[in-house]
Amino acid sequence: MLELVFSALAFAGLWAAMWWLSDKSTLLTIILAIPTAGFMVRLFMIQHDCGHGSFFKSRLANDWIGRFISVFTLTPYDFWRQSHAMHHAGVGNLDRRGIGDIDMLTVREFQALRGHGRLRYRLYRNPLVMFGLGPAYLFLFRNRLPFGAMRSGAMPWISTMLTNLATVAASGVAIYAVGAGTFLAIQIPVVLMGASIGVWLFFVQHQFERTYWEHQPDWSHPEAALHGSSFYDLPRLLMWMTGNIGIHHLHHLSCRIPFYNLPRALADHPQLRHVGRLTLWQSLRCARLSLWDEDKRRLVSFAEARAAQASV
């Protein structure tokens, strides 16, 4: 409860501070958007744990707190929970890609594409799209309709439409209080920054050089959980702000461990501190990795794949 209350109050207080500063200093308002977006990410991590049924002991509390938070993270809780569970079930499985994941091709698949297919994938994996335009599209537009689940029954539609209605209602109250222009000037930078941070975290947690991908006959869930998920060893403040989600290999091994207990679990198993470890500086190199090389069993860049093909 302390994690939830503190995170919610910090987000609301920082948002209010941005409003107070909005007619005094544009620069300070933009600067304050960074920690506000950080607490939006932290609220999403609480929603994430609620989706796994791990934040509270009560399933009812997990679900309704998760639904409430989804109004502010712009991510329909029940629909997202379903696709995220499928991500956990098929992580690292080359035959179960495409649901709750960042799209990734193997070197052979990319080389088999024609010109327009290659261009589309290159644009998709471009850092400006992946961490800029992509997150904005995902949170502002794609999450507004249950794309990819049109034939999955009523739940995706109900979850998405009710979240949309609740978000419109909450935005309406805020607009009435501060004005439409001020609301948009505050909310849009916060959402865009929070979305980019969230996508970057998810990217680094699975798209690193020595990650794990395997076809179904040889795929192992424990191996994929441990070696297909990184230990993103961030500085302590950033680790706290992001809900310890950097301890991602442990999270995939046991998603019922709430984020506030992940550091203790890692301390109890110190041998896991060296598995898939990435520092903040090392993680920046992951942005260039785009293709899975099945022969070398690692992620490579487009340039590396091209050089390897030329040498054959």
The pLDDT value given to residue 149? 65
Q: Do 298 and 209 contact (CB within 8 A), yes or no?
A: yes
Note whether 244 and 234 are within 8 A (CB).
Answer: no
CB distance 33 to 189 below 8 Å: yes
Say what the pTM is: 0.93
Query: Tokens 């990734």 sit at which residue?
Result: 104
Task: Give, to the nearest 10 degrees, the angle between helix 2-21 and helix 180-206.
Answer: 130
Residue 3 near residue 32, CB atoms below 8 Å: no
Per-residue pLDDT, 236: 95
pLDDT of 154 reads 85
- Return the number of other C-beta atoms located less than 10 Å from residue 95's C-beta: 10
- For 85-140, the pLDDT digits (tens) are 999 999 999 999 877 889 999 999 999 999 999 999 999 999 999 999 999 999 99
H-helix or E-strand spanning residue 232:
strand 231-232
CA dihedral 286, 288, 290, 291 (to 10 degrees): -90
Residue 112's pLDDT is what? 95
Q: Walk along the chain (312 residues) and give the pLDDT tens digit of each residue.
A: 999 999 999 999 999 999 999 999 999 999 999 999 999 999 999 999 999 999 999 999 999 999 999 999 999 999 999 999 999 999 999 999 877 889 999 999 999 999 999 999 999 999 999 999 999 999 999 999 887 666 667 888 999 999 999 999 999 999 999 999 999 999 999 999 999 999 999 999 999 999 999 998 999 999 999 999 999 999 999 999 999 999 999 999 999 999 999 999 999 999 999 999 999 999 999 999 999 999 999 999 999 999 988 876
pLDDT tens for 169-201 read 999 999 999 999 999 999 999 999 999 999 999
CA distance 26 to 20: 11
Q: How far apart are CA 7 and CA 296, in angstroms?
A: 43
What pLDDT is stored for residue 148 in this prediction?
Answer: 67
- Residue 203 CA to its chain's centroid (Å): 7
Helices (H) and strands (E) in the chain, counts: 16, 5
Q: Are 250 and 228 in contact (CB under 8 A)?
A: no
Q: Cα separation of 211 and 93, whole Å?
A: 12
Q: Write down the pLDDT at residue 146.
A: 84
Q: Which long-range contacts (CB under 8 A, 24 or more apart) does 253-257 make?
A: 253/222, 253/225, 253/226, 255/52, 255/54, 255/88, 256/52, 256/53, 256/54, 257/54
The gap from C-alpha 278 to its chain's centroid, in whole angstroms, comes to: 17
Q: For residue 176, what is the enclosing H or E element?
A: helix 155-178
User: Whole-angstrom Cα distance, residue 169 to residue 136?
Assistant: 21
Give me 70's structure tokens: 């989804």
